[in-house]
Structure 1
């Protein structure tokens, strides 16, 4: 069996209990070494084969999986955060389907959740934003038409931008072109939940200079939106004048 496991955002104790137990049982661990905290490998049992996929191709990964399956060994494919976001797991799962190799998928805590914890904010606020757009800048990998940063910026929703720290000049231009004001609150969250986590508050217009001043060039999320600062409406859920299925209004 192949287990795709979300490693969480970085902190060792933010892997799920299920994910940790699978690591402890694995005969082969293929981990995304460029992003996964290597301290998670402490859970590997003696004799477990460990491969760093940072230097591997898809074909190399599949070969390791096939060899392990042929030998009756259990494999954990350890991805950063939750593999459903920029994890490149679909192509792996499709290839395993073609080879009739069984697999399952264990979700993990995404770095976008850890980033919200780092800034101590809530992405969805009444009267401010009820939607979260998770996206990235167009770089060497193109994005589909209608899904560029400027297209999404027009919604003025909360935005969490992955894989774009090296493109901040272009990013801020796209955000402003799409409709965000230059003084819209923003934050650069470096290595959310890791011991060296850093939060750099800024605005849309100062993203690039803030990152340059902090020496941040990679491994960061960009948060954009008024959820980071300013007033908002009180939630109806805990409002004494609001009736719902578990409580009657007191007024």
Structure 2
């Protein structure tokens, strides 16, 4: 018996990996985060038990995993995006280790990758940015020392900010001293979902645009000079030499 932490991808059911889809269709037990994972991802399953864990706490989820283990049933534990990024699997893994229950992580397409796709851009361009910082805005969970947004902004790298669109004005205030008011920024709501929406601007005007759209959750903020860049050097990858 194995618990498979499966990354369902950002929302588009076709962006799940082949391995993830195969496991969802073969595991007798499915636990999925229904608030973030569309049910279409579960299409073709033959599971005996399918549970939406959106309203369950950690103890209740672990109890279901323990019951499946006792019955020798593999579990597809389906998370949005990639489960290793803001997936809250660390606490589940700690419990599984204590119970000696085997597990495996199946990667998924990240919200950052889906956002870059919908923006039609590369996040790493020669001479502009070769670093991507994935982070979040401190709200209920504080940030460790040295990881405050202003600390990370000093690098002026491409930055993808999760879980912070409701605080867009504060985020902009933290970023402008390092990126400048004219730095391009994009806010993408539910990237790859049918109701996806994107707001494009600069740090100087993005807050007003986002507030006028009423976007308050489930959005990724991407900031950096790679957005809309033109005057960058070709990479060495395809040079004749």
Q: TM-score range by the shorter chain?
A: over 0.9
Quote the offset at 1:145 in angstroms. Answer: 1.1
Equivalent residue for 1:26?
27
Equivalent residue for 1:193?
192
Equivalent residue for 2:16?
15
Quote the offset at 1:41 in angstroms. Answer: 2.2
Task: Give the SS at the match of 1:200.
Answer: strand
Give per-residue Cα distances to partners, 1:167-191, cap 9 Å, x unaligned: 11111111124x1201110001111
Give per-residue Cα distances to partners, 1:207-236, cap 9 Å, x unaligned: 321112222111111010000023211111
Give the whole-Å Cα distance in 2 for the aligned partners of 1:205 and 1:93: 42
Quote the offset at 1:68 in angstroms. Answer: 1.0
The 5 Å alignment of 1:12-161 reads: 12-45=13-46, 48-161=48-161
Give per-residue Cα distances to partners, 1:11-40, cap 9 Å, x unaligned: 001101111111111221111111111211
CA RMSD, 1 decimal: 1.1
Give the whole-Å Cα distance in 2 for the aligned partners of 1:54 and 1:6: 16
Quote the offset at 1:205 in angstroms. Answer: 2.4
Give per-residue Cα distances to partners, 1:152-174, cap 9 Å, x unaligned: 11111000111111111111111
Is the CA contact 1:34–1:54 (under 8 Å) kept in the aligned structure 2? yes
Quote the offset at 1:199 in angstroms. Answer: 1.8
Is the CA contact 1:20–1:43 (under 8 Å) kept in the aligned structure 2? no
Give the whole-Å Cα distance in 2 for the aligned partners of 1:3 and 1:126: 38
Superposition TM-score, scaled by structure 1 size: 0.92
Is the CA contact 2:25–2:42 (under 8 Å) kept in the aligned structure 1? no
Superposition TM-score, scaled by structure 2 size: 0.96
Q: Which has the larger radius of gyration?
A: 1
Where does the alignment leave 5 or more consecutive residues of structure 2 unmatched? none
Where does the alignment leave 5 or more consecutive residues of structure 1 unmatched? 241-248
